[in-house]
Structure 1
Amino acid sequence: ISVNDICKDGGIFKKILVEGEGWQNPKDLDEVFVKYEASLEDGTVVSKSDGVEFTVQDGYFCPALSKAVKTMKKGERVLLTVKPQYAFGETGKVASRDEGGVPPNAILQINLELISWKIVSEVTNDKKVLKRILKEGEGYERPNDGALVKVKLIGKLQDGTVFVKKGHDEEEPFEFKIDEEQVVDGLDKAVKKMKKGEIALITIQPEYAFGVFDSPQELAIVPGNSIVYYEVELVSFVKEKESWDMNTQEKIEAAGKKKEEGNVLFKAGKYVRASKRYEKAVSFIEYDSSFSDDEKQQVKLLKVSCNLNNAACKLKLKEYKEAAKLCSKVLEIDSKNVKALYRRAQAYIQLVDLDLAELDI
């Protein structure tokens, strides 16, 4: 039987007693469910549990448990030999009513079994929207922007108050379109990362939920600055058609539609979302080898107006390099386009490229 030095410093040796299944290991954010028994070298049991759940990065009992579970597979059972630095160190641990004491500098033997775990992932890079999978979905497909999704959901506050409930008690599933601001931002982003049939618990910080003010919902008021929790089942979804499934006329129509949506968002001051619409519009007509001559003319006009409008978004967002690039793309198509020259000059001024700005003006 192989013995692994899992921290590469001789601090924790792991001997596998029962092999686990699959290939995945728990990660820092995941919630693991384990059984363990910890004893001193003379066999005295100091702590045991037939089932305890904890978040890997928060750890449990002693530092060795979370270090070890990150190397284990589902169903794996191991014997750990733990040096003091990953147990209770030079101070040891005082006995309590439920657990025995650990003397200073004691080595522990821990029998540990990883029964299961719930995968928790970051939906946003700032850890403010977390998705914990309660039941795995099927296949690989996930909704895209514009997809029509059907969900069952229950929204709760931290104290358990239910503020919304949809698609339960024989009610039809709740339908909404991804990236159309029909639900709070955190829910929108999380559902986009779900698979059909998946059930997940989504934890959303106020910035991605209802913000700083009280918000009356269907069944209760969500107070300002509330963290909210949604239990969501993705019943089904229909993806928005992608460009490779369209003929040339459909691509031009889809690009025109996205451009109009972008214009509405721009007027409403929603520059990030408007910019995404203009980018999507251009992606439909990017490669124009199969367009007829008439269509090529339409495509040219659309590309010019979408890139110009997107440059205006980027100027508003203070993303001056991007704005300049988009104007340059327009000038490749139409070298005397006044708006493009003017907007590029604005961008260059902000980038303190005054010589280049003067050329454009």
Structure 2
Amino acid sequence: MAQVRKKEAEASEPCPSRAAAAESPGGRELAGSPRLGRAVKFLLPHTTIEAPPPQEEERQFYRRLEQVLGPTQGRFEELFRAQGWADVTEDKSLRKWLVREGHGEASRPQAGQEVTLKLLGVLEDGTLVEKDPKLTFILEQGDVIQALELGVQSMQLGEVSFLLTSFLYAYGHLGRDPDIPSDASLLYEVTLLQIRDSPDLGLLPPSGRISLSKQKRERGNFHFQREEYQQAMHAYQLALRILDSPGAAPPDPEEEEELQEHQVKCLNNCAAAQLKLQRFAEVLASCNAVLHIDPHNVKALYRKGKLLAEWGEDQEAMNVLKRALQLEPSTKAIHAELSKLARRQRGQPERPAPTAMDQPRLQDEPVQPAVGHSAWTDPGGP
């Protein structure tokens, strides 16, 4: 097929994922779904590019989905009141439709066990937004949305069920950019493939602990960016426990250096979440833990110095901030804090604080929107 220059295309090209997800086998479509295929209009000449057909697995999924939806024609509001669904939660915001029974009551997973799922999930208009043939996580560690945490604990090994969840147990008021809008209900088909005891961290090599810890830290960053600071702190603390698990084989010098690098990232991120929660004593403990590993960490020095200044420990705060300034002499935020301390000691009024753009930021830290939760200004995300 001839290539057409992008600049000739109109900007209103439909999303291919919505188009591919819309077909409903059996000759009719889910209510509100776009038609299969996408037409892209050009100025000259007029050209139509057909989207590839959905994979057979998705075709079968949409057949089963159509059977479950029945006469509601895809309206989730009716499914939340429909007969035949079991309520997983008392508020009826998470419901389950059994497709295939599992291996019996004794095969239900328990908190702390590791499970593997096959997962497909759609929005009300039929758009496929979740697909994972082997989603693996440990129950009750906050690695996935609550709908999956709670729904899976109601299932048996080998069971196949549809889980219908409101936004309360999914992605909340914020949604998930770019594919899940705010306040969106979701309908999942879940197959519980495997249940295992969680891995013994003491038996994991350093590379395995680093990989597992990184997953937890990234989950924490996801929560931090959504301003879910309690969940973020919990994820960072889990990441730290994985890195520092007792009984693990001692690492070689190179592995030890990598472990410490990840510990510093987790501790700094934890301090940022603790600041948002106004848990200032814990912030100081996190900063001290960072400085025990890396005495030249500017982020920890800045936070510690600023916190000490807020507590009136002016001389100690001055010493800490001067150490930070020696390491990063061009950072305006450190200059501003030192100037504020000096003016306070002379009895002069304070000047306005520097903007967030002037604040030191640790590399690899997630950017988060500036939202003030206390008088103590966070120097810029975890």
Regarding TM over 0.5, the answer is: no
Q: As a proportion of its length, which structure holds more helix? A: 2
Q: As a proportion of its length, which structure holds more strand? A: 1
TM-score by length of 2: 0.40
Q: Indicate the structure (1 or 2) with the bigger Cα radius of gyration.
A: 1
TM-score by length of 1: 0.42
